[in-house]
Structure 1
Amino acid sequence: MDISQTEYERLFGTLNENQTNALTTTNDCVLEIVAGPGTGKTKLLVSRVAYLLLNHKLPASGIIVTTFTKKAANEMIERLSSVLKNYDGINLKQLQIGTFHSICFGYLKFFGKSIGLNKFTIADNKDQKDVLLKAINSLGLEDVKTDKSSIKRVQSYISQQKSLGLHPEDVTIADPSDRIEAQHFQVYSEYQKILKQNALIDFDDILVHTYKLLTIRPECVSHVKHILVDEFQDTNTIQLKLIFKFTQYCKDNITIVGDADQKDKILLSNNNKEDPVHYICHKSHDDESIFIADKISNVMNDSDNSYTPKDFAIIVRVSRTFLSLERELTRKGIPYKIVKGQSFWDLKEI
Structure 2
Amino acid sequence: MTQTDILAQLNPRQREAAEAIDGPLLIVAGPGSGKTRLITYRIAYLVRVVGVSPRRIAALTFTNKAAREMRNRLAELVSHSINDMTVGTFHSFCAMTLRRESDLIGLDRNFAIYDDPDQLDVIKRSMRETDVDPKRFSPRAVQSSISKAKSSLLSAEGFGMRTASYFEEVVGRVYERYELLMAQSGAVDFDDLLLKMHRMLEQHPDIAARYQDRYVHFMIDEFQDTNVVQYAIARKLTETHRNLCVVGDPDQSIYSWRNADIRNILSFQDDFPDAKVITLEQNYRSTQTILDAADKLISANSQRIERELFTDNGDGAPIVVSEGYDEAEEAQMVLKEVGALTKNGSNGHKLGDIAVMYRVNAQSRALEEECLRYGVPYQLIGGQKFYQRQEVKDVAAYLRLVSNTNDDVSLNRIINLPTRGIGRRTLDELARFARDSSISQFDAIGNILPTDDQLAPIAANPFT
* TM-score after normalising by structure 1: 0.69
Mapped partners of 1:103, 1:317: distance in 2: 32
Mapped partners of 2:152, 2:186: distance in 1: 23
Once the two structures are superposed, the pairs formed by residues 237-316 of structure 1 within 5 Å of their partners are 237-250=228-241, 252-259=242-249, 261=251, 280-281=300-301
Q: CA RMSD in A?
A: 3.0
Q: Does structure 1 conserve the Cα–Cα contact (< 8 Å) formed by 2:251 and 2:298?
A: no
Q: Does structure 1 conserve the Cα–Cα contact (< 8 Å) formed by 2:120 and 2:140?
A: no
Whose radius of gyration is greater, 1 or 2? 2
Once the two structures are superposed, the pairs formed by residues 179-190 of structure 1 within 5 Å of their partners are 179-190=166-177
Change (3 A) 1:23 1:174: same
Change (3 A) 1:189 1:78: same
Amino acid at match of 1:61: R
The equivalent of 1:51 in structure 2 is 45
Asked if residue 159 in structure 1 is aligned to residue 147 in structure 2, the reply is: yes
The equivalent of 2:135 in structure 1 is 146
Mapped partners of 1:61, 1:173: distance in 2: 41
Offset of residue 56 of structure 1: 2.5
Q: Does structure 2 conserve the Cα–Cα contact (< 8 Å) formed by 1:173 and 1:182?
A: no
Mapped partners of 1:140, 1:79: distance in 2: 52
Once the two structures are superposed, the pairs formed by residues 68-79 of structure 1 within 5 Å of their partners are 68-79=62-73
Percent sequence identity is: 34
The equivalent of 2:286 in structure 1 is none
Which has the bigger relative contact order, CA under 8 A and spacing at least 6?
A: 1
Offset of residue 28 of structure 1: 2.8
* TM-score after normalising by structure 2: 0.53
Once the two structures are superposed, the pairs formed by residues 9-20 of structure 1 within 5 Å of their partners are 9-20=4-15
Q: 1:181 is paired with a residue of what secondary structure?
A: helix
Change (3 A) 1:124 1:259: closer
Mapped partners of 1:164, 1:64: distance in 2: 24
Asked if residue 234 in structure 1 is aligned to residue 225 in structure 2, the reply is: yes
Mapped partners of 2:383, 2:140: distance in 1: 14
Amino acid at match of 2:3: Y
Mapped partners of 2:302, 2:62: distance in 1: 18
Change (3 A) 1:202 1:73: same
Asked if residue 123 in structure 1 is aligned to residue 114 in structure 2, the reply is: yes
Larger helix proportion, structure 1 or 2?
2
Mapped partners of 2:60, 2:358: distance in 1: 24
Mapped partners of 1:122, 1:249: distance in 2: 31
Mapped partners of 1:58, 1:317: distance in 2: 45
Q: 1:117 is paired with a residue of what secondary structure?
A: coil
Change (3 A) 1:208 1:277: closer
Asked if residue 169 in structure 1 is aligned to residue 157 in structure 2, the reply is: yes
Mapped partners of 1:261, 1:132: distance in 2: 34
The equivalent of 2:200 in structure 1 is 213
Moved more, 196-205 or 166-175: 166-175
The equivalent of 1:225 in structure 2 is 216
Q: Does structure 2 conserve the Cα–Cα contact (< 8 Å) formed by 1:173 and 1:181?
A: no
Offset of residue 80 of structure 1: 1.2
The equivalent of 1:332 in structure 2 is none
- Which of residues 40, 62, 67 in structure 1 aligns to 2:61? 67
Amino acid at match of 1:18: R
The equivalent of 1:38 in structure 2 is 32
Mapped partners of 1:233, 1:254: distance in 2: 15
Offset of residue 68 of structure 1: 1.5
Q: Does structure 2 conserve the Cα–Cα contact (< 8 Å) formed by 1:228 and 1:254?
A: yes
Moved more, 42-51 or 166-175: 166-175
Mapped partners of 2:156, 2:115: distance in 1: 21
Offset of residue 183 of structure 1: 0.8
Q: 1:257 is paired with a residue of what secondary structure?
A: strand
Offset of residue 16 of structure 1: 1.5
Mapped partners of 1:283, 1:99: distance in 2: 26
Q: 2:219 is paired with a residue of what secondary structure?
A: strand
Mapped partners of 1:175, 1:197: distance in 2: 26
Offset of residue 172 of structure 1: 5.5
Q: 1:76 is paired with a residue of what secondary structure?
A: helix
Change (3 A) 1:249 1:317: farther
Change (3 A) 1:152 1:224: same
Amino acid at match of 1:140: D
Offset of residue 283 of structure 1: 5.5
Gaps of 5+ in 1: 263-275, 285-314, 320-339
Amino acid at match of 2:12: E
Q: Does structure 2 conserve the Cα–Cα contact (< 8 Å) formed by 1:36 and 1:260?
A: no
- List per-residue Cα deviations over 1:37-93 (Å, max 9, x = no partner): 1111111111111111123221111111011211111111111111224xxxx6211
Q: 2:108 is paired with a residue of what secondary structure?
A: coil
The equivalent of 1:24 in structure 2 is 19
Amino acid at match of 1:191: Y
Q: Does structure 2 conserve the Cα–Cα contact (< 8 Å) formed by 1:165 and 1:237?
A: yes
Offset of residue 342 of structure 1: 9.1
- Which of residues 120, 124, 134 in structure 1 aligns to 2:125? 134
